[in-house]
Structure 1
Amino acid sequence: MLLVGGSTRAASTTTAVLRTVRELAPGAVLYEGLATLPAFDPDDDRDPLPPPVARLRDAVRAAPAVLFCTPEYAGGLPGSFKNLLDWTVGDASPRSLYGKPVAWINASSPASPTGARDAHASLAVVLRYVGADVVEEACRRLPVTRDMVGADGLVADGDVRAGLRAAVAALASRGG
């Protein structure tokens, strides 16, 4: 399972959520190249791909499933995360996101005005566009606050961890 976050912030709660999933799901791989991706340019979406894009596509192709976790910025997906998604659209490989089981975790704080619903609605649009197999029963809103993240960078809250285990199990049941 590939874990893809939408934040470049080092102390991001979304990254903490994905690190926790990595601990709970042996074999899960955390994609950490978000900040290295060049701005999407259709003219560059050909061989040879920019190396960070090639690494992203290789990671997606190698994964049996993808779990996303992203915050919301300015009422939508963070620009860097949307850029990552844009680079996946042109991948014509049979192991791209098309038909691949995917899900998302919404970890936005309870203080978030919209609960990041607009970002996740945008993510759903992109995932439908690329033909991903969205595993609805694995998609969850599990609010995480900074005080729930330990010094080790993991979420210790039992309810959140239980929700993450359930999401991973649902995604894994579909081949992930």
Structure 2
Amino acid sequence: MSQHYHIEQEVEKALPVLQKGGTILYPTDTIWGIGCDATQEDAVKKIYRIKQRQDSKSLITLVDSIDMLRDYLTLLPPGTEALMAQAKRPLTIIYPDAKGLAPNVISPDGSAAIRVVRHPFCQALVRALGKPLVSTSANLSGQPSPMSYGEIHPAILVGVDYVINLPSGLEDTKPSTIIKIDALGQQTLIRP
């Protein structure tokens, strides 16, 4: 059976969980992540509880395309598409003036960290959901990010509503690069 078939099967299993406000554990283009519908405030609260994390710490959101990204920003800052095209590894950008996301995904200053994901499973899942997906490392707050499924803490495994049954196929075993961009296109490196 092809990987494509397995991706479709897992999307079909995860989709109703996400639509009902549930949480999933899934492979991303970087490390294993915990996710939920990024527009559902109660689902996002569950992730903070699972991770035992303060809700003042921001979460990353995944979108499947520039078009979806535009739907959740007041304005796409100049230079954004060129910045993404030049990225050699997964790139999360903190954008000003986010909209349409759960209030606990948007920072107090109105910004949100969003990545246009290239990972086949993540793209398929976000596309099927039709909304952004929260993506935060699958670790308890203050603990190192797991580099493999075997390193994920048992509390995370039992805390989520569904675990995606796919090999990670990780492109990169480090968290994404993070750059903050303002409305004028000025960039600040947050995490290399």
> Which TM-score applies when normalising by structure 1?
0.30
**More contact order relative to length (CA 8 Å, sep ≥ 6):** 2
> Which TM-score applies when normalising by structure 2?
0.28
Identify the structure with the greater strand proportion: 2
